[in-house]
Amino acid sequence: MAISFDAALGNSPKILALREKRGEILAANLANADTPNYKARDLDFSHVLKKTMPEPTILAHTNPAHFAPQQPFLGAQLKYRNPNQVSLDGNTVEEHIEQAKYAENSLQYQASLQWIGGDFKDLTSAIIGQA
C-alpha cells in the first residue's frame, strides 16, 4: 500500500510555504524602511488559507474536467499596509509594527515546522508499527 504524503500531511506544507513567503515580504519591508516612497506590503494569511481549505460539503462528480482548476496556493495578491503615520518621504514602513509582525510570523513558522515534524513522527510510528 502506497503512502500519500498529501493526504497524510494535509495543508501543513502549504501553510509552511505561505509562512515562508510572508517572512520574505516582511523582511523586504524592514530592509526598505529608509527607502523613499516604499510602500509596506503583507499577505492576508487567513484569507489565503480560507481560499485553499476544502469546502465542508462533499460534491459528487463523474468527470474531473467539470471543475475549474484551483488557483495556486501562493498566488495571493500582496496588499499594501495602511500606516498609522506616513513619513515625509512617502515611506509607509513602520519598523516597530514590521518587527512585531516578523516575530509573530517567525513563531508561527516554527510552530508549523513542529506540527509537520509531529506528522512525520506519526507516519514513522505507523510504518514501523510502534506506539
Whether 32 is covered by a domain: the verdict is: yes
Whole-model pTM? 0.66
Q: In the prediction, which pLDDT does 58 show?
A: 45
Tally of structural domains, the chain: 1
Whether 3 is covered by a domain: the verdict is: no
Whether 104 is covered by a domain: the verdict is: yes
- The C-alpha cell at 71 is 488557483
Whether 119 is covered by a domain: the verdict is: yes
Range of the domain at 80: 11-49+74-128
CA distance 74 to 82: 22
Q: What is the pLDDT along the chain (131 residues), one digit of tens a residue?
A: 566 767 777 777 888 888 898 899 999 999 999 999 999 998 877 777 666 665 544 445 556 555 544 443 455 667 788 888 888 898 999 999 999 999 999 999 999 889 888 888 888 887 887 65
Element (H, E) at 82: none
Q: In the prediction, which pLDDT does 88 show?
A: 87
Q: In the prediction, which pLDDT does 85 show?
A: 83
Q: In the prediction, which pLDDT does 52 show?
A: 63
